[in-house]
Each structure stands twice: as structure tokens, then as C-alpha cells.
Structure 1
Amino acid sequence: MTVSRDDLVAHLLKTRLAGYVGTLRENNLRNYSRFARRDPDVLFGLDPDTAWSKDEVLALMARRCGVNPDPGYLHGPDTIDPQLTVDALDRLAVVLRETADAGGSVLLGTGHPSHLAAMYAAFGRALHAAGCDLRTPARGRSFAMHFAEGPRRCALDYRERVGVLRVYEESASSNRQDLRPALGDPVHTHSPQPVRIALAALAEEGESLPDLVLGDHGWACGAGRLGLRAVGFADSNDPAVFVAEAAGLVAVTIPLDDGLRSDCYRLLTAYVLQLAGMSQ
């Protein structure tokens, strides 16, 4: 099935991946203020060279994501411009094609415990079929994950065949003598800590760093800050990924609602792979 741009825009609006999205204006503005205050939870590992005011963050998000640009609009629904979403997906297709043509290595990671993993896995299968090496460093690596309420024992792992790395909380039944901890549920995280652990593991093993990191939150920003080519998916309340793109640290940031059912992302995945000449 061929997916046209118009088909995709209609799908984005119907599912509310773009257009009027579920992320409320007050949520967006709160995170823009937190970014301006350099709250680590919304910086995603960035350390901006210049100060950002709340209004400057809003102006950037209006340009790159499509939120309402009016600083006086304080409450209610907010928007993501579907044309900006598709433009970014077009650029993502170019990055995937270039990576495939070069036979590059790819690291897939997500801070979303369920919503986006299937999409990343589909991109991973296509990249692997095109000859790319999918990297899965630090699988089962146990570490103390820092949360607002305090540290918790977690581990990096994956359950998808292609290896989309996520953070899992260690089960209470974990035996510290085991080579790999028993895992509980995957956890939602904004932190760059997971990608730093994954990249450090590659260095420890004498392996080269990946040519592309595909992810979100701290996976994209953390990798980009370390100089790797990174692509990130980001919601309208995730200003850090858009700031990273504006600063040249992230190659492409795709604006969309990142908290919907995994099947909502299938058509956009098909569109990108079709455009990249990597449909399976």
C-alpha cells in the first residue's frame, strides 16, 4: 500500500498524533518554564550555552512544533502542526536511507515504556534487512536510576527481537549474585543516563560508537550532546529535543503526541520506510 502525504496528514489529524493533541496548554507552558529554569528532568541531558526564557522556548516550539504562539493563551488544548510532522518524517527517511547505504550501525532506545517501542522495532527490522548493525550494549547492566523520589535499582534490557533498549525496574526477587537481574516493568524516563551507560559499555568492550541513535527524551539529547548523529521523536511538552535540533545536536526532531496506542504509529512508520525505499 502506498501512503501519500495527504493520507498521512489525515491519519495524524484523525488519531490526534498532530493537530489538536491530548497534551494540554498548561502542561506545555509548565515544561517551557521548567526548561527555562534548567530543571534537569526536562533538559534531557542538555546544558544550553545560552539562557532561555519561557517566551523564547514558546516561540521556538511554535516554529518547530506548531503550538499556539500566543503567550496569553494559558489553558485548554494545544496543537502540533501536521505539516511540520510530515516534513520531519521526510527528513528522517533521508537519514535512514543514508545510514542504510553506508551499512551503518544503529542504537535504538526509548524512554517510553510501551507506546513507541513497536515503531522503533519496525525501523530496526528495516535497517537490519538493509545491512545495518543493530547495537544492543549493556543488556542486563544493573545501575541506580535517579528519580525525583530517589534512586531505584534498574537495568537496561530489551524484549523485542531487534533490541529496542529500555530501562526496566529490577524485580524485588533479583539476586545480586546473578549475572543478569530479574526484571519488573519498563519505566518511563527522561534521563540521558541510559544512553550514557550504553555508550560507555561499547567503549569498555572496544566497540565503535553507533553511526545513528534513534530514540526520544534523553536517548536523543544525550547522544546528540556527545556528538553522535541522533534522531528524536518529541511531544509538544518536550522542548529539549527541539532546542537540541536548533543547536545542531539532534539531526531531526519529529513533533507528535508520543503517548498514544502503538498501532497509531504504524502508518507513519510505513510512510517513512516507503520514502526511504526500505519497505518490507
Structure 2
Amino acid sequence: MITTEELRGHLVEHRIAGLVATPRQNNLGKYARFGRRDPDVLFGLDPEGEWTAADVLALMAERVGVSPDPAHLYGQDTIDPALTVAALDRLAAVLARTAASRGSVLLGTGHPQTLAGFHAALGEALRAAGCAVLTPAHPTPFAMHHGQQVEHCALEYRRRVGVVRVYEGASPSGAGASTEAAATAPGELSDPVHTHSPQPVRIALAALAAAGEPLPDLVIGDHGWTCGAGRLGVAAVGLADCNDPAVFVGEAEGEVEVAVPLDDGVWRGCYELLSAYVLQQAGMSQ
């Protein structure tokens, strides 16, 4: 059995919580950009509140455990491991509820190199409990926008977890290139890439609607997967770093059911104890 003390020690030892790698100036920069409604940090949300940079800092201090001091501008910042454990417990309760009702689930990650295994472990346990783990719109080419830049991508699934891959080499020219052109673009698809975009989950949900299929009972993800689903009224839970304020604002405004604060960029094996703990708390250990 994984105890709370063991989990908290693991979080601090591997800098998933406690003194984390994300620098304070990066956090404050993202909070300011959120206050300016920068689409790249909204992750698909359209917040109801005003959410100034000061408001975001206060929320992140409360829900993540970053320093509340606005004069702390540079250097180290923190994630409170007690808040991480409490959020993992809430996530476990959502999983247990979904498993009991044999609900349908959609999983996706914008951090495929680090978090895909965490999501996959939850998905495998839910499938074993009788839940349908959905993989809509596989594979679908699409154009992903980052400000003025466009990347031609494909939505795919690895171990039933949605990921994004980018067409490398020559690609259709111009921002107006069609998805059909992206599909036939010369060059090969990259390995799964890091993204904050809500487009992948929107594409997946739109494919379900177009096929006359019901939307999932739960989306498990991070970044745009969580916020994009929550904005569309789908129950969503997600992992989020201390420089990802959108997920916590979504939770505060009721569009995200659970936001778990943690550093999302450590070695992927470090998250195995976290997924095992969630499944243990949900009564779903395999």
C-alpha cells in the first residue's frame, strides 16, 4: 500500500512538487499573459472573471502553493506537495465514480514524453472496469495554429491516449492550406509533440458528434485537452504545472472538475507511483 507520507516524499525527492524546476519568472510571465487573454496560455478557456495577473497569482498560491509574494520576481518557486496529494485523491474519486457507472472516457496529453504513461495507466484500469476508452478521429490531419504560425499535424492515439504528431520536412505552404493537403504532404510524421492547443480535443469531440455518438462522460488530460473539453461542457480532469494557470482557473470557474498541481516535465517513470496511488485510492489497483 502506498501511504500519503511515501507519496509526498516521492513528490519532493523527484521535484514533482516542493522546490520545482519551473522558475519564478516563467510563472509570473504566464500569469501576466493569462491576464492579457493571450490565447496561447488560455488553453481553450474563455474565462468569465476578469483575472488580472494579481488575481491569477493569488489563485495559484492557493491551489498550487507558489509563493504569494508579488515582490518575489526571480529564482525558485514551489508546488505544495500536500495540495498535489489532495488533488490526486479528488482525481481518484472521479475515477471511482466513472468506473462504477461504466462511463465512457477520452484521454489525451500535450506532454507525451512525460505524462502519456500516467494517462495510459488510468485508461487501462478504466477499460478493465468496463468503461469504453474512446479513440475518435484517428488518424486525422489538421492545421494547428500558434499565433501567426501554422503546423500541419495529425491526431493519433498511443495506448489509447491522444497525442499530436507533426509533419516534418516539406509541407503545404500558406496558412490556408487544407487538411487534405496536410495529409498528403511530403515528409514523415514526427514523434508525438508537446502542445498546449485545445484543437486536438475539439477535433475528437467533433468527430463523435458527427458520427452521432455521445460525448464522453469524462476527459482525462492536461493543457488544452482538459481546458478545451471543459469549455465545451464535458467533465474534465487534468494535470497542470505551476506555469499552467488556465487549468486552475478552469477549476475555479467550474469548467474543470479536478486540477492536479505538479511539475509535468520530469522523467516519465517518476509518475508511475502517482498513477498507482490514484488507482489504489479509487479501489482500482490491478
- Please, what TM-score do these two structures have when normalized by structure 1? 0.95
Q: Which amino acid aligns with 1:214?
A: I
Q: What residue in structure 2 maps to residue 164 of structure 1?
A: 161
Query: Where does structure 1 differ by over 2 angstroms across 4 or more consecutive aligned residues?
Result: 170-183
Residue 35 of structure 1 aligns to a residue whose secondary structure is helix
Task: Report the alpha carbon displacement of residue 189 of structure 1 after superposing the two structures with TM.
Answer: 1.1
Matched residue SS, 1:158: strand
SS state at 2:9 partner? helix
Report the alpha carbon displacement of residue 178 of structure 1 after superposing the two structures with TM.
11
**How has the CA–CA distance of structure 1 residues 24 and 188 changed in structure 2, closer, same or farther, with 3 Å as cutoff?**
same
Shift of 1:172: 4.0
Matched, 1:208 2:214: yes
Alpha-carbon separation, structure 1, partners of 2:232 and 2:52: 25
SS of 1:153's partner is strand
Aligned position for 1:52: 51
Residue 149 of structure 1: CA displacement? 5.4
Residue 248 of structure 1 is matched in structure 2 by 254
Aligned to 2:115: 116
- The answer for the alignment partner of 1:129 in structure 2 is 128
Q: Secondary structure at the match of 1:231?
A: strand
Is 1:196–1:223's contact at 8 Å kept on the other side of the alignment? Answer: yes
Structure 1 residue 173 displacement after superposition: 7.8
The 8 Å contact of residues 140 and 180 in structure 1, kept in 2 or not, is answered as: no
Aligned to 1:42: 41
Distance 1:7 1:18 in 2: 13
1:11–1:178: structure 2 CA closer, same or farther, 3 Å change rule?
Answer: closer
Alpha-carbon distance between aligned partners in 2 of 1:51 and 1:221, rounded to the nearest angstrom: 17
Q: What is the rounded CA distance, in whole Å, between the counterparts of 2:171 and 2:269 in structure 1?
A: 33
Displacement after TM superposition at 1:183 (Å): 2.4
User: In 1, Cα distance between the equivalents of 2:232 and 2:275?
Assistant: 27
Tell me if the contact between 2:20 and 2:263 (Cα under 8 Å) persists in the aligned partners.
Answer: yes
* Aligned-pair CA distance for 1:51: 1.4
Paired AA for residue 38 in structure 1 = R
CA distance in 2, matches of 1:220, 1:158: 16
Structure 1 residues 177 and 24, CA gap change in structure 2 (3 angstroms):
closer
**Aligned equivalent of 2:267, options 261, 264, 267:** 261
- How much is the aligned-residue C-alpha RMSD, in angstroms? 1.8
Residue 204 and residue 54 in structure 1: after superposition, are their counterparts in 2 closer, same or farther (change >3 A)?
Answer: same
The question of whether the paired residues in 1 share the 8 Å contact of 2:143 and 2:182 is answered with no
- Look up the match of 2:105: 106
Cα-to-partner distance string for 1:99-143 (whole Å, 9 max, x where unaligned): 000000000001113110011011111001011000000111011
Aligned to 2:283: 277
Aligned residues: 277
Amino acid across the alignment from 1:170: Y
Residue 148 of structure 1 and its aligned partner are, at CA, apart by 3.7
Q: Give deviations 1:239-276, integer Å, cap 9, x for gaps.
A: 00000000010000000000111101011111110111
Equivalent in the alignment of 2:5: 6
Residue type at the aligned position of 1:51? E
Find the counterpart in structure 2 of residue 92 from structure 1.
91
1:186 Cα deviation (Å)? 1.6
Superposed CA offset, 1:162-199 (max 9, x none): x1001111244899699898522222111111110000
| TM-score normalised to structure 2 length | 0.93
Q: More displaced, 178-187 or 213-222? A: 178-187
Residues 131 and 76 (structure 1), Cα distance of their counterparts in 2 relative to 1, 3 Å cut: same
- Report the equivalent of 1:217: 223
Partner of 2:175: none
Distance in 2 separating the partners of 1:216 and 1:167? 13
Partner of 1:189: 195
Question: Out of 228, 239, 243, which is 1:237 matched to?
Answer: 243
* Equivalent pair of 2:48/2:253 in contact (CA under 8 Å): no
For the 8 Å contact 2:114–2:267, the answer to whether it is kept is yes
Q: Secondary structure at the match of 1:23?
A: coil
User: What secondary structure is seen at the aligned counterpart in 2 of 1:184?
Assistant: coil
Gaps of 5+ in 1: none
Do the aligned partners of residues 41 and 177 (structure 1) sit closer, same or farther apart at CA in structure 2, a change above 3 Å counting? Answer: closer
1:198 and 2:195 aligned: no
Q: Return the alpha-carbon distance in structure 1 between the equivalents of residues 155 and 90 of structure 2.
A: 29
Judge conservation of contact 2:114–2:264 (CA < 8 Å) in 1: yes
SS in 2 for 1:207: coil
Distance 1:179 1:148, change over 3 A: closer
